[in-house]
Amino acid sequence: MIGHVTALQGYLLLAAVLFAIGLAGALTRRNAILVLIGIELMLNAANLNLIAFWRYGPHPEALTGMMFAIFSIAVAAAEAAVGLGLVIHIYRFTQTTDLGQMNRMKG
C-alpha cells in the first residue's frame, strides 16, 4: 500500500500520524503539561503539512508555505509559554497538575 504513494502523500501521512499521536496524548494523559506537549506535537504536524505543501505546491517561490510555518512556529512558542505559565499558576493554587481535578469551571 505504501508503495505507490507519492512523496507529498508520504509527508502528509507522517503529519497525520504525528497529529493523531499528539491528539491521543492530549486526550489520555492526566498531567496538564503532557497535554500541552501533545498540543505542541499537533502544531508541529501542521507545520510539516505546510512545508510539505509548500515544497510540492505549484509556486514554491511564493514562499507562502514557509512563511506560514515560520509564523506558526513563533505563535506556537508564545502559546507554549503562556500555557505553561498558566499551568504553573494553577499548580501554585491547587498543588496539582492533574486535569481530572481541575474542574472548577464545570457548568
Partner 1 sequence: MQETISIAPNVGSSAIAQLLWLIPASPVLASGVIALLKQPKRKTAATLAIGSLGFSLVLALVAFAHVLSGWMHGVSVRETVNFTWIRVGTTNVDLGWVLDPLSVVMLVMVCFVGLLIFIYSTGYMSHDENFTRFFCFLSLFAGAMLGVVIANSLLLLFMCWELVGLTSYLLIGFWYQKPSAAAAAKKAFLTTRVGDIFFLLGMVWLASGTGTLLFYNNGGGSMEAGALATLLGQHAAWGLTAAGAIGLLIFSGAAGKSGQFPLHVWLPDAMEGPTPVSALIHAATMVAAGVYLVARVYPLMAAGALVGGSTTALTVITWVGAFTAVFAALIAVAQDDIKRILAYSTVSQLGYMMAGLGMGGVAVGMFHLITHAFFKALLFLGAGSVIHGCHDEQNIRKMGGLKSDMLVTTVTYTCGMLALCGVPIFAGFWSKDGILEAGSHWSVSKGPVALLIFGAVLTAFYMTRQVAYVFSGHWRGHKPAHESPAVMTIPLAILAAFALGLGLFGTPAWPWFQGFLNGRAVPVEFHALLETNVLAVSGVSIGVVALGILLAWVLYIGKSPKPEQPDVLEKAAPLPWTWLRNRLYVDEIYGATFIAFYAWWARVADWLDRRVWGGAVSGVAIVFRGWAQVNRQLDTNVVDGTFDKGCEELSTGGGLLSRMQNGQVQGYLRWLALAVVVLAAILIWSSRA
Partner 2 sequence: MTIVFYLIAAITIAGALAAMLLKSTVHCALALTIAFAGLAVQFLELDAQFAGFAQILVYIGAVAILVVFAILLTRGSEAPKGGVFSKSWPAGLAIAAMVFAVLGWAVLSSTSVLPNETAKPTVSVLEIGNALMGRYVLPLEIIAVLLTSALIGAVIVAKHEKGSAK
Residues 16-75 that bind partner 2 (CB under 8 A): 16-31, 33-34, 36-38, 40-41, 44, 47-48, 51-52, 54-58, 60-61, 63, 66-67, 69-71, 73-75
d(CA 99, CA 102): 5
d(CA 87, CA 83): 6
Among 8, 16, 23, 87, binds partner 1 (CB under 8 A): 23
d(CA 65, CA 28): 32
Termini Cα distance of the chain: 47
Return the one option of partner 2, partner 1, none that residue 94 interacts with (CB less than 5 to 8 A, by type).
Answer: none
95 interacts with partner 1 by CB under 8 A: no
d(CA 79, CA 76): 5
Which residues are near partner 1 by CB under 8 A? Answer: 23, 26-28, 35, 99-100, 102-107
